[in-house]
Amino acid sequence: MAESDIPDGWQARGTPPTLFRRFPFPDYPATRRFLDALADLSAQAGVHPQNINFGSGYVNVTLDATASGAADAGLARRIDALLAQG
């Protein structure tokens, strides 16, 4: 995955590369709102992250590597955009 294809704030991990980002939140309600928005986005998009790992104040998101060998940068940007809606 070319550096230029990795959205700001995300890390490429593994081979083929998945995309990973940690989203910190001040409290559980804020974390919950993000998780709900992420579930709605997944339903709309018909895809969901490979893994979501969360506690009261953070959500770690890992996006699958696709058949073409790179995780979905467009999905990463749509997830980022959920923050602006929060």
Least distance to its own copies, CB of residue 3, Å:
27
The reply to whether 50 sits near its own copies by the rule CB under 8 A is: yes
Least distance to its own copies, CB of residue 15, Å:
19
- The token pair at 19 is 């995309």
Least distance to its own copies, CB of residue 36, Å:
8
- Amino acid, single-letter form, for residue 63: L
Contact partners, residue 47, CB within 8 Å, separation at least 6: 72, 75
- The token pair at 8 is 């700001």
What residues numbered 26-45 form the site for its own copies, per CB under 8 A? Answer: 28, 32, 35, 39, 42
The reply to whether 56 sits near its own copies by the rule CB under 8 A is: yes
In the chain, beta strands by DSSP E: 11-13, 18-24, 51-55, 58-63
Contacting positions for its own copies (CB under 8 A): 28, 32, 35, 39, 42, 48-56
